Amino acid sequence: MPQTLSRVLVLSGPNLNLLGTREPAIYGATDLRTIEADLAALGVELDAHVECRQSNHEGQLVDWIQEARDGWDGIVLNAGGYTHTSVAIRDAITACGRPCVEVHLSNVHAREPFRHRSRLAAVCVGVVVGFGPRSYALGLRGLIDYLRHPRGSV
Protein backbone atom coordinates (compact mmCIF):
# COMPACT_ATOMS: atom_id res chain seq x y z
CA MET A 1 0.00 0.00 0.00
CA PRO A 2 1.62 3.33 -1.01
CA GLN A 3 2.22 5.92 1.67
CA THR A 4 0.43 9.23 1.47
CA LEU A 5 2.50 12.38 1.19
CA SER A 6 3.40 13.65 4.66
CA ARG A 7 3.57 17.38 5.31
CA VAL A 8 6.30 18.44 7.74
CA LEU A 9 7.03 21.91 9.04
CA VAL A 10 10.68 22.46 10.01
CA LEU A 11 11.17 25.40 12.37
CA SER A 12 14.46 26.95 13.42
CA GLY A 13 14.68 29.47 16.23
CA PRO A 14 16.92 32.33 17.27
CA ASN A 15 20.42 32.77 15.90
CA LEU A 16 20.16 29.78 13.57
CA ASN A 17 20.13 32.20 10.64
CA LEU A 18 23.81 32.75 11.55
CA LEU A 19 24.83 29.11 11.04
CA GLY A 20 27.99 28.76 9.05
CA THR A 21 29.58 31.79 10.68
CA ARG A 22 28.35 31.59 14.29
CA GLU A 23 30.73 29.63 16.53
CA PRO A 24 31.71 27.08 13.87
CA ALA A 25 33.63 25.04 16.46
CA ILE A 26 30.27 24.29 18.10
CA TYR A 27 27.75 24.53 15.26
CA GLY A 28 29.87 23.69 12.22
CA ALA A 29 30.38 25.49 8.92
CA THR A 30 27.11 24.54 7.20
CA ASP A 31 24.66 27.40 6.79
CA LEU A 32 20.91 27.12 7.36
CA ARG A 33 20.06 27.45 3.66
CA THR A 34 22.15 24.37 2.90
CA ILE A 35 20.48 22.43 5.72
CA GLU A 36 17.06 23.47 4.41
CA ALA A 37 17.93 22.47 0.82
CA ASP A 38 19.15 19.10 2.07
CA LEU A 39 15.90 18.63 4.02
CA ALA A 40 13.81 19.46 0.94
CA ALA A 41 15.74 16.83 -1.05
CA LEU A 42 15.36 14.30 1.76
CA GLY A 43 11.65 15.08 1.85
CA VAL A 44 11.34 14.14 -1.83
CA GLU A 45 13.19 10.89 -1.09
CA LEU A 46 10.83 10.15 1.83
CA ASP A 47 7.69 11.18 -0.09
CA ALA A 48 7.14 14.16 2.20
CA HIS A 49 6.55 17.84 1.62
CA VAL A 50 8.99 19.77 3.81
CA GLU A 51 8.69 23.49 4.46
CA CYS A 52 11.41 25.26 6.43
CA ARG A 53 11.07 28.51 8.35
CA GLN A 54 13.34 30.46 10.73
CA SER A 55 12.63 33.24 13.19
CA ASN A 56 14.47 34.95 16.00
CA HIS A 57 11.13 35.80 17.61
CA GLU A 58 9.41 33.53 20.13
CA GLY A 59 5.90 34.72 19.22
CA GLN A 60 6.47 33.95 15.54
CA LEU A 61 7.53 30.41 16.41
CA VAL A 62 4.41 30.03 18.56
CA ASP A 63 2.23 31.27 15.68
CA TRP A 64 3.80 28.77 13.26
CA ILE A 65 3.40 25.89 15.72
CA GLN A 66 -0.26 26.80 16.16
CA GLU A 67 -0.62 26.97 12.37
CA ALA A 68 0.56 23.36 12.18
CA ARG A 69 -2.85 22.29 13.51
CA ASP A 70 -4.24 22.79 10.01
CA GLY A 71 -2.54 21.13 7.08
CA TRP A 72 0.66 19.78 8.67
CA ASP A 73 1.30 16.25 9.91
CA GLY A 74 4.23 17.06 12.19
CA ILE A 75 6.99 19.45 13.19
CA VAL A 76 10.77 19.26 13.40
CA LEU A 77 11.85 22.02 15.77
CA ASN A 78 15.20 23.51 16.71
CA ALA A 79 14.05 26.15 19.16
CA GLY A 80 17.63 27.22 19.92
CA GLY A 81 17.90 29.01 23.25
CA TYR A 82 14.11 29.00 23.66
CA THR A 83 14.40 25.25 24.32
CA HIS A 84 15.54 26.00 27.84
CA THR A 85 13.22 28.91 28.64
CA SER A 86 9.97 28.93 26.71
CA VAL A 87 6.80 27.74 28.38
CA ALA A 88 4.91 29.44 25.52
CA ILE A 89 6.54 27.21 22.87
CA ARG A 90 5.95 24.13 25.04
CA ASP A 91 2.27 25.04 25.42
CA ALA A 92 1.96 25.66 21.66
CA ILE A 93 3.39 22.20 20.91
CA THR A 94 0.86 20.63 23.26
CA ALA A 95 -2.03 22.68 21.88
CA CYS A 96 -1.29 22.01 18.22
CA GLY A 97 -1.83 18.28 18.60
CA ARG A 98 0.82 17.35 16.05
CA PRO A 99 3.88 15.23 16.81
CA CYS A 100 7.06 17.26 17.20
CA VAL A 101 10.72 16.22 17.18
CA GLU A 102 13.18 18.49 19.00
CA VAL A 103 16.58 18.79 17.32
CA HIS A 104 19.89 20.45 18.20
CA LEU A 105 23.11 20.58 16.23
CA SER A 106 25.35 20.43 19.30
CA ASN A 107 25.18 17.94 22.15
CA VAL A 108 23.45 20.21 24.63
CA HIS A 109 24.22 17.74 27.45
CA ALA A 110 27.96 18.26 26.95
CA ARG A 111 27.66 22.03 27.20
CA GLU A 112 26.80 24.57 29.91
CA PRO A 113 24.54 23.24 32.68
CA PHE A 114 21.66 25.59 31.78
CA ARG A 115 21.43 23.83 28.39
CA HIS A 116 20.93 20.41 29.99
CA ARG A 117 17.23 21.01 30.67
CA SER A 118 14.71 21.21 27.86
CA ARG A 119 11.26 22.59 28.55
CA LEU A 120 10.13 21.03 25.26
CA ALA A 121 11.39 17.43 25.32
CA ALA A 122 8.53 16.09 27.47
CA VAL A 123 5.94 17.19 24.89
CA CYS A 124 7.91 15.95 21.87
CA VAL A 125 7.87 12.43 20.45
CA GLY A 126 11.68 12.43 20.25
CA VAL A 127 14.86 14.44 20.62
CA VAL A 128 17.97 14.40 18.40
CA VAL A 129 21.13 16.15 19.62
CA GLY A 130 24.78 16.34 18.73
CA PHE A 131 24.94 15.30 15.08
CA GLY A 132 25.56 18.73 13.60
CA PRO A 133 23.47 19.55 10.53
CA ARG A 134 22.53 15.85 10.28
CA SER A 135 20.43 16.30 13.45
CA TYR A 136 17.73 17.88 11.30
CA ALA A 137 17.78 14.99 8.80
CA LEU A 138 17.71 12.41 11.59
CA GLY A 139 14.80 14.26 13.19
CA LEU A 140 12.93 14.35 9.88
CA ARG A 141 13.52 10.63 9.28
CA GLY A 142 12.36 9.84 12.81
CA LEU A 143 9.23 11.95 12.48
CA ILE A 144 8.27 10.43 9.11
CA ASP A 145 8.76 6.94 10.56
CA TYR A 146 6.64 7.91 13.58
CA LEU A 147 3.87 9.28 11.35
CA ARG A 148 3.79 6.15 9.21
CA HIS A 149 4.18 3.64 12.05
CA PRO A 150 2.42 4.94 15.15
CA ARG A 151 3.47 3.55 18.49
CA GLY A 152 2.48 -0.04 18.92
CA SER A 153 2.58 -0.87 15.19
CA VAL A 154 5.36 -2.60 13.32
Say whether 27 is catalytic. Answer: yes
pTM of the model: 0.92
How many angstroms separate the Cα of 58 from the Cα of each of 47, 51, 82, 96, 137?
30, 19, 7, 16, 23
pLDDT tens digits, 18-42? 999 988 888 888 999 999 999 999 9
Is the pLDDT assigned to residue 154 strictly greater than 70? no
27, 49, 109, 146: the active-site residue? 27
**What number is the average pLDDT over the span 78-101?**
97
Note the pLDDT of residue 152.
57
pLDDT above 90 for 48: yes
- For residue 2, the model assigns a pLDDT of 47
Among the listed residues 57, 104, 146, 149, the single catalytic one is: 104
Distance CA 31, CA 17 (A): 8
Could you name the CATH architecture of 6-148? 3-Layer(aba) Sandwich (3.40)
- The H-assigned helical ranges of the chain are 24-27, 32-45, 58-67, 87-96, 134-148
- Stretch (H or E) spanning 78: strand 74-78
pLDDT of amino acid 117: 86
pLDDT score, position 1: 38
Q: Looking at per-residue confidence, does 6 or 26 come out higher?
A: 6
**What is the four-CA torsion angle of 148, 87, 78, 108, rounded to 10 degrees?**
-110
| Percent of the chain clearing pLDDT 90 (strictly above) | 80
Residue 126 has pLDDT above 60, yes or no: yes
Question: Which pLDDT band holds residue 3 (cuts at 50, 70, 90)?
Answer: low
